[in-house]
Structure 1
Amino acid sequence: MNVTAPASPVPRHDAPPEALQAGLLARVLDEIDHGLLLVDLTGRLLHANRPARRELAGGRALREVDGMLATALPAWQARIRQALKDAERDCRSIVELDAEGEPLTLAFVPLAMHHGSATVDTVLIMTSRRSTCETLTMQMFARAKHLTPAEQAVLTQLCAGRGAQEIACLQGIRVSTVRTHIKNVRQKTGRGSVREIVRELSRMPQIVSALRLVGSD
């Protein structure tokens, strides 16, 4: 008679402690290319990931004043207050701030955090990305497609929305040279147009460089 040996018990992995979970979550949020701010209904800052902290430190559109989310212009502050009021009614909203010709879009998402028997009303604010493509993502893409440094530089400018004439002026080269680089990029990537390449890059995971300078937040 054949006797089947009992299956080996599945190893049990205990959940990490809450402090470790919070630390891991903070690191995950820092790797997201969009700025993420967590505030309460009064606008008090509860958490900000790395891109959001850079945005606040720059002070171009958003800033932190005494622990509160503030804006560069009073009119913008009124939009923030209205969005928080909408969030209190469980309504999502979009706010656009035209800062120095480069709009910053904010998405307000109401959340409810449960802590024991209490419920803390919070709002997640997601900011638009400042760049079309992260530098490290571009570098990895260029290496995979065997682009030269000059071709990568032109592609980076194309992703920023610049045309051949503007790229030529910025880099101090002829327009014909820029167009040659564009032609080479299209051939090496196998794409029929620059638009296809830019769209592909924008949809790639935006990898943030692990080599960060101390104090770069």
Structure 2
Amino acid sequence: MDGMLGRSPEFGWLVSYRGPERRRGTPDRWWRHALEEIDLGVCLVGGDGHVLYANSTARRQLDSCSPLQLTSGQLSAPEAKDQARLDGALADVQRGLRHLICLGRGSGRLSLSVLPLQEGPGRPAQALLVLGKRSLCGELPMMAFAREHQLTAAEQQVLQSLCAGLQPQEIAQRHGVAISTVRTQIASVRAKTATESIRDLVAMVAQLPPMQGVLRVCELR
């Protein structure tokens, strides 16, 4: 089993893992399932710059509108400056250096971490790319958070609006309710979550782990 994992071009870097699932089925398949459950874009890039693996979140995120695109197994940036940043970060991986780079501008900006994964002495390092979150909190984590803290549907809606950057007055106008109603709902959410301010509440939501809403089993076969 260890030999099979070590020969895998995609997941050889996981050879040191000793969990019980190593004894059940193919490790590559198990790790693919694990990465598909996370609503966070993850790519594994070989020493030659070729993408060895990208989970479904990354494939959706690196579309034709993104400042970083995945085409024919290669990552490329339409803007020359962005491509230079990416090339420099991938080159530094071979020196064991890690980077956080930002590509694009405005609302289309994409941040990503570039992390070295060294398989052994004398072997080119692979790069693990972790893409920045597309939003403060995904739909499923928000629903789970609301259920955990017994928020009402209206309170969850107000919380989502706060996390989107709206002020209480804007929330009231958008939903056609009195500002006093929104303030009462915010106070209730703060009480249920034991937070002292809206800032603390939003920070709490921002720290929620990313979760996929649906596991795309057909893509893993």
Normalised TM-score (structure 1): 0.78
Q: Partner residue of 2:80?
A: 74
Whole-Å separation in 2 of the counterparts to 1:40 and 1:183: 50
> Which among 14, 20, 23 is matched to residue 16 of structure 1?
23
Deviations 1:8-66 (A, max 9, x none): xxxxx89437x611000111112233311111234211111222111113632221122
Whole-Å separation in 2 of the counterparts to 1:14 and 1:111: 22
Deviation at residue 110 of structure 1 after TM alignment: 1.4
% identical aligned pairs = 36
Question: Higher mean Cα deviation, 150-159 or 179-188?
Answer: 179-188
Query: Are residues 36 and 141 of structure 1, via their aligned partners in 2, closer, same or farther at CA, if it must alter by over 3 Å?
Result: same
For residue 129 of structure 1, give the secondary structure of its aligned residue in structure 2: coil
For residue 61 of structure 2, give the secondary structure of its aligned residue in structure 1: helix
Whole-Å separation in 2 of the counterparts to 1:14 and 1:164: 48
Whole-Å separation in 2 of the counterparts to 1:149 and 1:14: 39
Query: Are residues 199 and 124 of structure 1, via their aligned partners in 2, closer, same or farther at CA, if it must alter by over 3 Å?
Result: same
One-letter amino acid matched to 1:188: K
Contact 1:59 1:72 in 2 (8 A): no
> Which among 182, 197, 216 is matched to residue 201 of structure 2?
197
Query: Are residues 84 and 154 of structure 1, via their aligned partners in 2, closer, same or farther at CA, if it must alter by over 3 Å?
Result: same
Q: Partner residue of 1:106?
A: 112
1:152 aligns with 2:156: yes
Whole-Å separation in 2 of the counterparts to 1:14 and 1:159: 37
Contact 2:36 2:216 in 1 (8 A): no
Whole-Å separation in 1 of the counterparts to 2:21 and 2:182: 57
Deviation at residue 145 of structure 1 after TM alignment: 2.4
Higher strand share: 1
Deviation at residue 213 of structure 1 after TM alignment: 10
* Structure 1 stretches of 4+ moved >4 Å: 211-215
Larger Rg: 1
Question: Higher mean Cα deviation, 198-207 or 150-159?
Answer: 198-207
Deviation at residue 102 of structure 1 after TM alignment: 4.8
Higher helix share: 2
RMSD (Å) for aligned C-alpha atoms: 2.8
Question: Higher mean Cα deviation, 42-51 or 168-177?
Answer: 168-177
Contact 2:89 2:99 in 1 (8 A): yes
Q: Partner residue of 1:10?
A: none
Contact 1:42 1:84 in 2 (8 A): no
Normalised TM-score (structure 2): 0.77
Contact 2:36 2:215 in 1 (8 A): no
Q: Partner residue of 1:4?
A: none
Segments of 5+ residues of structure 2 without an aligned counterpart are 1-19
